[in-house]
């Protein structure tokens, strides 16, 4: 809590402010409460001290009570992000009387009007409840974020007045760009324009487009810059009543911001683990957003911008490992190894490689080429849905609603079932979509397979129940699945109707046998937005078995110009080595040559040409480039290999956490240190056990100091050790304690930091050094994870 206040306005009314810092880092909520009868007594607690005389108070710990003589009391509440006066204006304009029944009736009429935008028919009451609950969920947010006079608090924390649009807040764009916003382009066109104008206003006030905005505050809690596809999707559909030049400027600024790995992406065309955590997900999602920018730039005639961004849109190719068939993390110029596509770790955003290996909606044809054609892609999709549903790595509550490794309970999977249409196996899309609608949605309190995520989970259902879904927002195509209802009609804002009928639809008859659009045979397995919006009639004939529908007329997304040369791969194994290091340079692309340097200079066609494995017996920094026959060059791949200054070995007496291996046992003595951003790796993590390591220096030496690096990130449950003990031995059997220290950092110190603990002691001969670091234990009551087990993250151990 940053600030609160309470003010007694009269014996019928109070007002105040709650200013807080949590998800939104500076959220203002002014309020006013009017009572239908006067209160006879009140009191205000300031820091838990009660006063019956105070009429106004401010602080961080306030409470109040009000006593009434009447048995029945009504209260009206209004809020504002601007001021108490704004809240009073809102209350007067929006809730002027005390007729509760009228207020309830008016609200019901408004919701009935909104929900009547889509009429569906069914003899199944459960399906009707589920559908209209889902439709309601898609309409709960975004929220109006201004007072009745148009005033609002902007991203710059200043008060502004909205002119010519309604200002909105609560944009969970990582979720909603996928299905919810495309749905709005059909049923909520005017609001869609206001959403985009709100985006652009936030850009003008805050410097970049919203990522996950709440109450005028950017939370940055998710990845990408997915306001871009929302803008581009609307523009391509003719919803263009906004400043397009300003929008392109905002897109370019947001995609070149100095944060979240973007500088590294622009430097070498990919994010590796050491560049940024969640590197795979960010590379893939940036690539899609960049494709959207390219399409927008092309429409606006900005040719150079188009070229720049269409090349960036292909960066996903540099993460596809042809040998494993998956999108795989890159580390030190190579592929991360060992690799498990089911593992949930910090290279992905709330997902694993199975769930992200189908994320290239802007270039599905490019993926087809990488994987070896339609049949291979179909088989890969089959593998996703039939794989063991058990994930490995960390526990991730967002990964739910599993069918194989498909996770419908989280957004990265939402488009995947529709990808079968791109392979010509549309009947598999129909079967899987039908299954998901039946298994993952119910008319019960637990009727969703995952977090609603501001309407996206329900938007998937609404669109799928209508019979189509947008795999690639930014195009005007909706991919056809299988309708749920015998009849559905969308009442469009232009006064026209779009109707979907499904003859012979039933629980068993979910396969499309044939289709017609406006009484003409329709053989495509996708539908144009413009056919919807002009008012049409789409008819399906349904049956119990797959048909030939979708074998032709397949959807298509493809990048066909300004093709990139893929980055080379530098395969040298572990970064740290003893003896000689062998290095291989290769790639995922034919008809290219590889050139490299080892002196720190940038490689080009005049550099050494790679022809066979390289061998090094000293530390080396390799830079490599791929150049095609026509002279096109890739980005530069770099790799560092460090020859260890000693031949020490290490034995771990306790097990580290699998996903925080820090490079294995030798990672504690390899000379490679981790950064405060532990999500990039290089830290060895322990939970529920202490650290217990024995280092063999291979010879007896006189030592007097040991340094061990520990991380503290209390919010992530990573806490510096409670105690560090150092013991030495000359024979590896009898150990003598030479150091014991404790309390290196307070658990209340929430600063993310690396603490290098120095253990100094009287010089002593030793060959073996045993290091024990004791866990803090259970997290204290005030912690968000109270009662949970702390982690120790340890890195380089040095002995002198």
Instruction: Give the per-residue pLDDT at 253.
Output: 98
> 């890739």: which residue's tokens?
634
Give how far Cα 36 sits from Cα of 55, 100, 469, Å: 20, 11, 49
Question: Which DSSP category does 412 fall into?
Answer: G
Bridge partners of residue 570, in order along the sequence: 585
> Edge-to-edge strands of the sheet including 592-597?
576-577, 637-643, 620-628, 592-597, 608-609
Instruction: Give the per-residue pLDDT at 136.
Output: 98
Bridge partners of residue 218, in order along the sequence: 213
Question: Which DSSP category does 679 fall into?
Answer: G
What is the token pair recorded at 544?
A: 């119990």
Q: For the chain, what is the radius of gyration of the CA atoms? A: 30
Give how far Cα 503 sits from Cα of 111, 508, 514, Å: 30, 13, 10
- Nearest-angstrom CA–CA distance, 636 and 185: 41
Q: How far is CA 526 from the centre of its chain?
A: 27
- Nearest-angstrom CA–CA distance, 579 and 644: 9
Instruction: Give the per-residue pLDDT at 653.
Output: 96
Instruction: Give the per-residue pLDDT at 70.
Output: 85
Instruction: Give the per-residue pLDDT at 43.
Output: 94
What is the token pair recorded at 120?
A: 């569906």
Instruction: Give the per-residue pLDDT at 713.
Output: 95
What is the token pair recorded at 783?
A: 């912690």
Backbone angles phi, psi at 776, to 5 degrees: -60, -40
CA proximity to 199, closest of 270, 237, 248 = 248
Give the residues of the chain that fall short of pLDDT 70.
none
Instruction: Give the per-residue pLDDT at 325.
Output: 97
For helices 374-386 and 426-440, give the axis angle rounded to 10 degrees. Answer: 20
Pair type for strands 49-51 and 41-46: antiparallel
The pTM is what? 0.94
* CB burial of residue 596 (10 Å; 0-12, 13-18, 19+): buried
Residue partners of 262: CB distance under 8 A and separation at least 6: 255, 256, 286
């Amino acid at each position: 809590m940053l600030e609160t206040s309470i003010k007694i306005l009269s014996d019928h009314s109070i007002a105040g402010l709650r200013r807080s810092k949590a998800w939104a880092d500076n959220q203002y909520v002014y309020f006013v409460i009017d009572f239908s009868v006067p209160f006879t007594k009140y009191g205000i607690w300031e820091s838990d001290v009660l006063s019956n005389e105070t009429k106004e108070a401010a602080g961080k710990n306030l409470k109040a009570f009000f006593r009434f003589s009447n048995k029945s009391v009504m209260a009206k509440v209004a809020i504002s992000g601007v001021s108490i006066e704004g809240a009073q204006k809102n209350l007067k304009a929006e809730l002027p009387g005390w007729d509760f029944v009228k207020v309830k009736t008016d609200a019901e009429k408004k919701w009935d009007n909104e929900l009547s935008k889509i009429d569906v028919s069914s003899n199944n009451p459960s399906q009707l409840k589920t559908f209209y609950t889902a439709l309601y969920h898609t309409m709960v947010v975004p929220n109006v974020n201004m007072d009745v006079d148009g005033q609002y608090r902007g991203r710059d924390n200043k008060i502004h007045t909205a002119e010519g649009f309604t200002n909105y807040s609560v944009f969970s764009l990582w979720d909603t760009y996928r299905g919810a916003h495309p749905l709005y382009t059909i049923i909520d066109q005017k609001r869609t324009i206001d959403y985009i104008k709100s985006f652009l206003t936030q850009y003008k006030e805050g410097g970049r487009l919203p990522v996950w905005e709440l109450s005028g505050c950017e939370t940055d809690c998710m990845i990408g810059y997915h306001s871009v596809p929302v803008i581009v999707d609307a523009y391509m559909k003719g919803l263009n009543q906004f400043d397009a030049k300003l929008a392109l400027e905002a897109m370019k600024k947001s995609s070149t911001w100095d944060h979240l790995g973007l500088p590294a992406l622009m430097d070498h065309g990919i994010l590796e683990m050491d560049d940024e955590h969640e590197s795979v997900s960010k590379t893939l999602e940036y690539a899609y957003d960049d494709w959207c920018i390219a399409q927008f730039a092309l429409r606006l005639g900005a040719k150079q911008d188009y070229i720049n961004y269409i090349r960036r849109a292909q960066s996903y190719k540099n993460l596809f490992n042809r040998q494993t068939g998956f999108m795989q993390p890159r580390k030190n110029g190579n592929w991360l190894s060992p690799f498990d596509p089911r593992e949930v770790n910090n290279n992905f955003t709330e997902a694993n490689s199975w769930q992200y290996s189908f994320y290239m909606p802007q270039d599905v044809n490019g993926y087809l080429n990488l994987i070896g054609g339609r049949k291979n892609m179909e088989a890969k999709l089959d593998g996703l849905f039939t794989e063991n549903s058990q994930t490995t790595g960390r526990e991730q509550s967002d990964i739910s609603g599993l069918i194989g490794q498909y996770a419908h309970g989280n957004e990265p999977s939402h488009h995947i079932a529709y990808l079968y249409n791109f392979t010509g196996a549309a009947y598999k899309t129909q079967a899987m979509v039908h299954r998901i609608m039946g298994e993952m949605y119910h008319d019960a309190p637990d009727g969703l397979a995952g977090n609603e995520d501001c309407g996206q989970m329900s938007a998937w259902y609404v669109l799928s129940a209508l019979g189509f879904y947008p795999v690639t927002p930014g195009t005007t195509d909706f991919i056809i699945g299988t309708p749920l209802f015998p009849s559905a009609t969308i009442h469009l804002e232009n006064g026209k109707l779009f109707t979907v009928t499904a003859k012979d639809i039933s629980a068993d008859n979910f396969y499309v046998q044939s289709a017609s659009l406006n009484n003409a045979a329709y053989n495509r397995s996708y539908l144009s937005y413009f056919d919807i919006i002009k008012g049409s009639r789409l008819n399906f004939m349904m049956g119990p078995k797959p048909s030939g529908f979708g074998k032709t007329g397949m959807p298509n997304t493809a990048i066909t110009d300004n093709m990139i040369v893929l980055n080379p791969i530098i395969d040298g194994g572990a970064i740290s080595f003893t003896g000689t290091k062998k290095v291989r340079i290769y790639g995922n692309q034919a008809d290219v040559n590889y050139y490299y340097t080892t002196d720190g200079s940038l490689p080009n066609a005049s550099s050494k040409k790679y022809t066979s494995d390289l061998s090094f017996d000293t530390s080396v920094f390799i830079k490599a480039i791929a150049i095609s026959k026509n002279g096109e060059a890739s980005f530069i791949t770099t790799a560092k290999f460090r020859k260890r200054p000693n031949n020490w070995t290490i034995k771990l007496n306790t097990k580290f956490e699998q996903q925080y291996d820090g490079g294995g046992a030798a990672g504690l003595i390899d000379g490679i240190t981790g950064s405060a951003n532990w999500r990039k790796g290089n830290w060895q993590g322990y939970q529920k056990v202490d650290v217990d390591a024995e280092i063999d220096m291979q010879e007896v030496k006189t030592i007097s100091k040991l340094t061990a690096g520990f991380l503290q990130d209390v919010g992530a449950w990573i806490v510096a050790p409670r105690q560090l003990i150092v013991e030495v031995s000359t024979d590896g059997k009898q150990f003598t304690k030479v150091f014991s220290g404790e309390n290196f950092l307070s658990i209340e110190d929430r600063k993310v930091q690396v603490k290098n603990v120095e253990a100094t002691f009287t010089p002593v001969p030793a060959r073996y050094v045993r290091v024990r670091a004791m866990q803090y234990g259970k997290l204290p009551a005030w912690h968000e994870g109270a009662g949970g087990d702390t982690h120790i993250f340890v890195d380089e151990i040095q002995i002198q």
